[in-house]
Structure 1
Amino acid sequence: MDSPEPDTPMAAVSAQTTKYGKLFQSYLDRATPFISYRWIGTGALFFFFALRIFLAQGWYIAVAYSLGIYLLNLFLAFLSPKFDPSLEQDEDMEDGSAGALPTKETQEFKPFVRRLPEFKFWYSATRAIAIGFICSWFEMFDLPVFWPVLVMYWFILFILTMRKQIQHMIKYRYVPFTVGKTRYAGSSR
């Protein structure tokens, strides 16, 4: 498709969306280093969403349950390594120690790289919660359902998937969380 002529209304719309897209991206770039503030904002947005669901007494399946499944999927991608050690079959590591710290000189250290980086996890979760909050104001998304069954099913799904993920983490000896640089007690110089 050819680009629109400079004098057409489509060119003006395209210029405006490009302008707002760059402005939005600059705000995202400035927010990147402030991890705790970003997550506090997302938590506040989730609180308002939950408050809206509680006060409205509706929007269980189409909005809240779908959001819960999507957030669970994001969380599992956040915990998973980008390169699955169970798929990497190395002739030197037949005991299933791919992705673990090297124990021999011939083994290579591979740092933990997430399938879904923290910033993309935050951005996707925040966007999904915002969309869910907006959808909770429309009557067409309020499907009647017996919500305790959905809550129990979500908890069962959460427990089973986390159990599987934790078993995978134990088997291949990786920890997806780092708290920062290790500091040792000693003399202060």
Structure 2
Amino acid sequence: MMDGSDLSSENNRKGIISQAWTRLSQVYQGTLDQWTPHMKSRWVGSAVLLAIFMLRIFTKQGWYIVTYALGIYHLNLFIAFLTPKIDPAMDFDVFWPILVMYFITLLCITMKRQIKHMLKYRYLPFTHSKPKYKTVDSTVTVN
């Protein structure tokens, strides 16, 4: 038979974790509530953190993927900010040329370095104008 103490200790552990998570959420929300009125300080702090991050990127010559993902995340937040709050069940038309330009822009930004590398080392991914080598016949007979 199962001992009742195992079940109660598991419930107690879940209760402690739940209470800790709730308390952490309350402290976090309290901190956010305290900083909400200080709009200029938040903008200055954000600008300083962004400048430090950009300085690190330029000095260390790295973190490009993280920066790219962060940029897309901020673009997504900006688009969500501009999007009106309407019923999501209603289907509304998307202006497709903006999506096409967005895709082309992201593609150009992403592929810029790869294309420069391909041009530098004369790597052509297509068969157009590649040199063609003649094969040597290995069945040469000697008299």
- In the superposition, the TM-score normalised over structure 2's length comes to 0.49
Larger RCO of the pair (alpha carbons < 8 Å, separation 6+):
1
Structure possessing the higher radius of gyration over alpha carbons: 2
The structure richer in helix per residue is: 2
- In the superposition, the TM-score normalised over structure 1's length comes to 0.38
